[in-house]
Amino acid sequence: MREFMDYIQSAFYTATGWNRDNSYSSLNATANALLEFPTPRGVRLTLGSLATPQFATAYQLGTVGVVDGSVSYLYSTVPLHDTIAQSARIPLPDLLKGYKLLRELGAAVTNNGGGDALKQQRQKEALAYGRLYLPRSMLEALVVKRFTNALQLQISAVSDQTLRNGGTVLGMVQYDKGRYGIEGLASSDGGLMGVRGLYNFGGDVEKFKQPQANAVEDSTTTSAQINGNGNGNGNGDRIYGRFSAGAELYYGTLNKSGGMSMGLRFATLPSHKGTPLTATMTINPLMGNISWSYALMAGQHCSLATRMDFNVYSYESDWVLGMELWRKKGVMDHQP
């Protein structure tokens, strides 16, 4: 179950037009949501409210042997009341991390080159979030600052006496141009420094190759042909989706160790008329790990996922299956 503040942060990215899916860290988001969901423990009560269009609070109380809780505050320079519906009107699937459809990249194409007014608007977009855990007295904070339509800075920090040096700070610079996205990060924990990127091709990315004046008309024609809505092309059964390839490289300056990984993903887009599906493959050449995952929406109320992991050095492997099943609406659900 997504926490209230996570839902508010997603609303902030939606209101500012930032695509969280265009990142290498989100390559396996769909499969992980269906296969690695946390199992609830104990009893936990959360009360959250968007007190004003720009300010939100959340309080959490739980018991797992001992009573604990947290207090959270969030402030956004962008009003969120147009993005967030009343709690009674929020669809329950939006609050759960299940199968996730990729966003179209058309919004990024439209906003690139939006002029001085858009640049001034982006420079004012920011988010600040803080959370205090009790009785541990652990504090976490997040600051997001938008500079341009394609450039964003995130700084997150955790203060806890159980951590080395009493806490850690992570800074991340994100640059998203639609066709590709690059992230650079640095952490005080081990002096970690890294870079990761994602490059998209196929599907809706083809509109980046066209002149700006004809982008809307040509992309509409291309989408219709690929989806089988055009006349006489014979591609009615063709799967319309986007390919993504990415990699990450990181190095710890204090412990003198590093790592890397590479990955591929194919996912259908919302305009695809057939069954939504996502397939990924990730490789960690240093550790010898290879992972394949496949997820699909078998129906309006059912999603399935599977993943196979294999290590070329030890021949150790495992296979995981997951399913998300929703109850169909009954007669009583349609009554006012």
145-171 pLDDT, tens digit per residue, is 999 889 999 999 999 988 888 899 999
Bridge partners, residue 181, by sequence: 176, 198
Q: What is the pLDDT of residues 201-230, one digit of tens each?
A: 988 887 766 554 444 444 444 444 444 443
Q: Is the pLDDT of residue 231 over 60?
A: no
What domains are there in the chain, each with its CATH number?
A: 4-334 (2.40.160)
Q: What is the pLDDT of residues 84-135, one digit of tens each?
A: 767 777 777 777 778 888 888 854 434 444 566 667 778 889 999 999 998 8
- Residue 120 main-chain phi, psi, to 5 deg: -65, -35
CA dihedral of 267, 272, 276, 279, whole degrees rounded to 10: -20
Q: Is the pLDDT of residue 80 over 90?
A: no
As a whole number of angstroms, the distance between CA 103 and CA 20 comes to 9
Q: What is the pTM of this model?
A: 0.81
Are 159 and 139 in contact by the 8 Å Cβ rule? The answer is yes
User: What mean pLDDT is reported for the chain?
Assistant: 83
* CA-based torsion, 248, 205, 266, 2: positive or negative: positive
Q: Which of the four pLDDT bands, split at 50, 70 and 90, describes residue 336?
A: very low
Percent helix / strand / coil, the chain, rounded to 5: 20, 45, 35
178 sits in the region (left: phi over 0; alpha: psi -120 to 50; else beta) called left
- Higher-confidence position of 301 and 75: 75
Work out the percent of the chain whose per-residue pLDDT is above 70: 83
